[in-house]
Amino acid sequence: MTFGQSVRTCFRNYATFRGRARRSEYWWFALFLALTSSAASAIDEGLGFGGADGAGGPVSGLWGLATFLPALAVGWRRLHDTGRPGWLLLVPTIVALAALAWAARSLGLFSAGIGSPEEMMDRLAAFGPARMALVGAATFIPAVALIVMLCQPGERGANRYGPEPEATPA
């Protein structure tokens, strides 16, 4: 599947979570999203939005909303092609949110609030580097595992998620 075919297929299957997607469909669409998101950010910068705080502008925000479902759907179908359930795509996000919630609770952010910068630094020091490393690992390891799954070849022939995707001539 070519770059253009991948983009057309992903937008044609905008919110289709059934079926399977070849590696080329997924990775060409990921490249398309990276390039167009960078372009949207550049447009925002040119219009005077965004800045040192890392906040995006309206163009990148709208583009992110417009492409969220097709990106999620093609990832879901890509996992189906490898014989895995699509919900595994959500695991890194769920684990990261749980790790961050645990860290915030441990730092007392839910009960005491953020407080002064000095108080926050004291809490971070008490939290300790081992706990910080644990939060980092909890967010990093599932993401790497997901990337490995997305890179693996699809199952040959039909699987429980549907027939093998047709090879599209270049």
Q: C-alpha distances in angstroms, 115 versus 35, 106, 111, 123?
A: 40, 15, 11, 10
139 and 93 within one domain: yes
CB 70 within 8 A of CB 33: no
Q: Is 115 left (phi over 0), alpha (psi -120 to 50) or beta?
A: left
135 is in which domain, residue-wise?
Answer: 85-160
Q: Is 167 left (phi over 0), alpha (psi -120 to 50) or beta?
A: beta
CB 158 within 8 A of CB 20: no
Using CA atoms, how far apart are residues 79 and 22, in angstroms rounded to an integer? 9
52 and 90 within one domain: no
74 and 130 within one domain: no
**pLDDT one-digit tens code per residue, 81-124:** 999 999 999 999 999 999 888 888 887 777 766 677 787 778 77
- Residue 107 in any domain: the answer is yes
- Residue 52 in any domain: the answer is yes
User: Above pLDDT 70, what percent of the chain?
Assistant: 92
34 and 5 within one domain: yes
Model pTM score: 0.83
- Tell which of 57, 81, 105 closes a domain: 81
